[in-house]
Amino acid sequence: MRVLRWALPIALVAGVLTLPEAGNASGRAANDIDPDTADCNKVRCVALTFDDGPGPYTSKLLWILQSYHAKATFFEIGERIAEHPDWSRNVVKAGMLVGVHTWSHPYMTLQSLPEARQQLVKAVDALQKATGVTATVYRPPAGLSTPDILKIEGELGLSEILWNVVAYDWEHSAQPELTVAAVHQYAQPGAVFLLHDVHEGTVRAMAEAVPWLKRQGYVLVTVDRLIRAKTGAGPKPGHRYWDRDSGQLDPAKQG
């Protein structure tokens, strides 16, 4: 599976998207496999991951995911966690996997090592204070990192999680049908979608994409389930999973 930069085929561009009405979701009937215990070597799993939150649309996204018996992974910015701790608590209460996305979203490769460490320490601390959760997974902004930063991550108990499908949802928030089309085109077992819950268009797209994935027989899991299927264990601190360039989960690159 490759990191994607694509032009969407016209046939996949959908019409106007609307959020489902409460009580109309039918995800459990379509696919009742428990995403928390799914063996992704035996069932078709995909992982939706959301960066840059928590945001004002996160609660709607959580409603969609819960309505369809789906799980996702959220990489949250420390500043936003500190500003809206209740939003982060809601993500945890919904049973999602929550990690950090630095304190203020700088490119980490432009930070000194002490600055990079501080970005991570402050973000981890913010999540702990807001939710009681100690972060174990981390995503660097733009996927930019270095071996020295990866070492710091390991010292802080963090695994670095990248992706293998880029939906470019932030570029067309006003056209959520394009994000839906990306999901349609690139869904396959093991897909890890890079998305952002701070854009209303992304959340509207998920109202269509999540039930569609369920109808195709996919189980929507957190990234640790995919890692466990590939490596036989959960994420290990100081290891990188998936690759910004090749898009492959390659155990040989994990330390």
State residue 31's pLDDT score: 64
Q: For the chain, 255 residues long, give each residue's pLDDT as a single digit of tens.
A: 434 433 333 333 333 344 444 334 444 445 689 999 999 999 999 999 999 999 999 999 999 999 999 999 999 999 999 999 999 999 999 999 999 999 999 999 999 999 999 999 999 999 999 999 999 999 999 999 999 999 999 999 999 999 999 999 999 999 999 999 999 999 999 999 999 999 999 999 999 999 999 999 999 999 999 999 999 999 999 999 997 665 444 333 333
CA 148, CA 166: separation in Å to the nearest integer? 26
User: Which residues lie closer than 8 Å to 232 by C-beta, 6 or more apart?
Assistant: none
Task: Give the integer Cα–Cα distance in Å for 66 and 73.
Answer: 13
Q: What is the pLDDT of residue 117?
A: 99
Q: Where are the domains of the chain?
A: 45-241
* Beta-ladder partners of 240: 160
CA 127 to chain centre: 16
- Catalytic positions are 51, 196
Q: Measure the CA–CA gap between 92 and 86, rounded to whole angstroms.
A: 10
Distance CA 70, CA 32 (A): 10
Burial class (CB in 10 A: 0-12, 13-18, 19+), 213: buried
Q: Is 57 helix (H, G, I), strand (E, B) or coil?
A: coil
Distance CA 125, CA 1 (A): 35
What letter would DSSP give residue 180? Answer: H
Which CATH number is 45-241's, of 3.40.50.300, 3.20.20.370, 3.40.50.2300, 3.20.20.140? 3.20.20.370
